[in-house]
Structure 1
Amino acid sequence: MAFTESSAAPWHAAYPPPTNKAPAGMAREMVLEMLKNSDSVAGKDYVLIDLRRTDHEGGTIRGSINLPAQSLYPTIPTLYNMFKAAGVRKVVWYCSSSRGRGTRAAGWLSDYLDERKDRNMESLILLEGITAWATAGGEFTDWMDDYDAAVWAGK
């Protein structure tokens, strides 16, 4: 039998599924308020993580870092240590819809936080992902870097 892309296991099958399958979420309006709040500093108080890899196009939320989900799981201890040292209180994950990669990543970090009994950091999903953000109008797209309306047309 010939190998085909469709016969390959999904990338996340190489890692354990998160115990927390329904991590908390943040509505885009709440994330936007966090971005606008001058008392809240990206990289210190919160981190936004864009998990897209091959579909990383059309722009990203200002201040986000790109950590493709496919290589995330083994880096969680290091990310946690960096976030903890910086005093980060919220880690907000997103992908296109935040129903696959976003939920999985938030669940993995939530599990890690639970194992350490860390109640000072939250692992959250951007509800509805970057697609809903990019199609919600100018109030949101104004807070995107490299925004390309053509990518989001019809979504």
Structure 2
Amino acid sequence: MASSTKTQNAAPWHAAYPAPKSPPKGMSREAVLEMMKEAVAGKDYVLVDLRRADHEGGTIRGSINLPAQSLYPTLPTLHTMFKAAGIRKVLWYCASSRGRGTRAAGWFSDYLADHGDVDIQSLVLEGGIAGWAAGGSDYVTWLDEYDESFWLGAK
């Protein structure tokens, strides 16, 4: 019983890092889809899927997976890589983008502001991947490893 009490009282993983200074800007799934049709992933923008153990049901095409729990210490390296690649937009998402997605976008926005970088935008995908999948066929066709049964069970 002591181990379950210890787990219940443990601080959340993100408590070890500062809270973002301000809420990040969001981008709707409609705007992201239009961007994806016109721009090149990895060149013009990057999508970052922050899910770790819940990386089920698929991921948005062209996304990279960087679990949120390991993100904060890597911000300087990510910034260097994104800057060198000429990335203009970094879009962060998790299942709903109300926790990890918002936090990550906020952290990266803070990092950009602290370093005077106005060339890169840090945005959160509004509604996360659950909102994306709920958008219907126009959106699920852009999911790699799409598992319809996962999303049907989530409703």
Tell me by how many angstroms 1:3 deviates: 2.9
For residues 7-32 of structure 1, give each alpha carbon's deviation from its aligned partner in whole angstroms, at most 9, with x where no partner exists. 21111011111112x10000000110
Quick one: which amino acid aligns to residue 51 of structure 2? R
| Cα distance per residue 1:77-102 (max 9 Å; x no partner) | 00000000011000000000000000
What is the rounded CA distance, in whole Å, between the counterparts of 1:107 and 1:121 in structure 2? Answer: 13
TM-score, scaled relative to structure 2: 0.95
TM-score by length of 1: 0.95
What are the equivalent positions in structure 2 for 1:59-74 lying under 5 Å apart?
A: 59-74=58-73
Partner of 2:84: 85
What is the identity, as a one-letter code, of the residue corresponding to 1:43?
G
| Whole-angstrom distance in 2 between the partners of 1:79 and 1:107 | 14
Equivalent positions of 1:13-28 (< 5 A) are: 13-20=15-22, 22-28=23-29
Q: Secondary structure at the match of 2:97?
A: coil
How far off its partner does 1:118 sit?
Answer: 1.0
Q: Which amino acid aligns with 1:100?
A: G
Moved more, 72-81 or 6-15: 6-15
Instruction: Show structure 2 runs of 5+ residues with no match.
Output: none
Is 2:41 aligned against 1:34? no
- Give the superposition deviation at 1:41: 1.2
One-letter amino acid of the structure 1 residue matched with residue 112 of structure 2:
L
1:1-155 maps to which residues of 2 (within 5 A)? 2-4=2-4, 5-20=7-22, 22-37=23-38, 40-153=39-152, 154-155=154-155
Cα distance in structure 2, aligned partners of 1:150 and 1:6: 31
**Residue segments in structure 1 that go unaligned for 5+ positions in a row:** none
**Identical aligned pairs, as a percentage?**
66
* RMSD value, Cα: 1.0
**Count of aligned residue pairs for this structure pair:** 152
Flag the structure with higher helix content: 2
Moved over 4 A (4+): none
Cα distance in 2 between the residues matched to 1:48 and 1:6: 33
Specify the SS of the correspondent of 1:106: helix
